[in-house]
């Protein structure tokens, strides 16, 4: 049996405006797999993984930050992780289903750095590249993150 969620009309329009006006670099949306959860997503970048083009985006859930790509991530490369501006680099906590880097242990610190920061640099290595070549750096603008984060918090109130 399908669950029907009734949202008062005013809240509905407030929610629709959250999605539509989150900004150029970040957007807020309902998780298609869990309608009671909001997500905040960066713009998608396309990089060459050493063999072909692959997309990479950041997805914030409140519990973790995910770096989702279409290529297999290799943790054997040196210097991989996430760095905001010139602050310390956060290591990848785990890789989910070979293609998503997970940052969960320091999520509160990462979120604060994203709010205060200007630029996030994600450094990844992809597999299989034989022989191993180099890491790939993807830069994400944090301009608009704070505004989107406020909309994310509002979205969570409406979705729950």
46 falls within a domain: yes
Domain at 145, CATH number: 2.60.40.1880
20 falls within a domain: yes
117 falls within a domain: yes
Could you read off the pLDDT of 54-81 as tens digits, one per residue? 999 999 999 999 999 999 999 999 999 9
User: Does pLDDT of 3 surpass 80?
Assistant: no
- The number of folded domains in the chain is 1
Q: What is the pLDDT of residue 134?
A: 85
State if pTM tops 0.85.
no
4 falls within a domain: no
19: domain range?
9-159
* E-assigned strand segments in the chain: 26-31, 34-42, 45-48, 53-60, 65-69, 72-73, 81-84, 89-90, 94-96, 100-103, 119-124, 126-127, 136-141
Where are the alpha helices (H) located in 6-159, listed in sequence order?
A: 9-20, 107-116, 145-159
Give residue 84's Cα distance to chain centre.
14
100 falls within a domain: yes
Q: Residue 42 — φ and ψ, nearest 5°?
A: -80, 170
Confidence of residue 131 (pLDDT cuts 50, 70, 90): low
């Amino acid at each position: 049996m399908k669950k029907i969620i009734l949202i008062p009309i005013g809240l509905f329009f407030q929610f629709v405006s959250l999605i539509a006006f989150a900004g150029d670099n970040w957007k807020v949306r309902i998780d298609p797999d869990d309608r009671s959860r909001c997500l905040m997503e960066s713009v998608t970048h396309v990089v060459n993984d050493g063999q072909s083009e692959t997309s990479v985006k950041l997805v914030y859930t409140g519990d973790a930050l995910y770096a989702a790509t279409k290529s297999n991530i290799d943790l054997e490369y040196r210097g991989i992780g996430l760095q905001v501006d010139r602050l310390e680099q956060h290591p990848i906590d785990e890789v989910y289903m070979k293609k998503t880097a997970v940052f969960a242990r320091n999520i509160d610190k990462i979120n604060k750095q994203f709010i205060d920061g200007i630029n996030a640099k994600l450094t990844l290595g992809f597999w299989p590249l034989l022989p191993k070549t180099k890491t790939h750096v993807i830069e994400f603008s944090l301009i608009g993150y704070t505004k989107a984060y406020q909309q994310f918090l509002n979205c969570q109130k409406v979705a729950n």
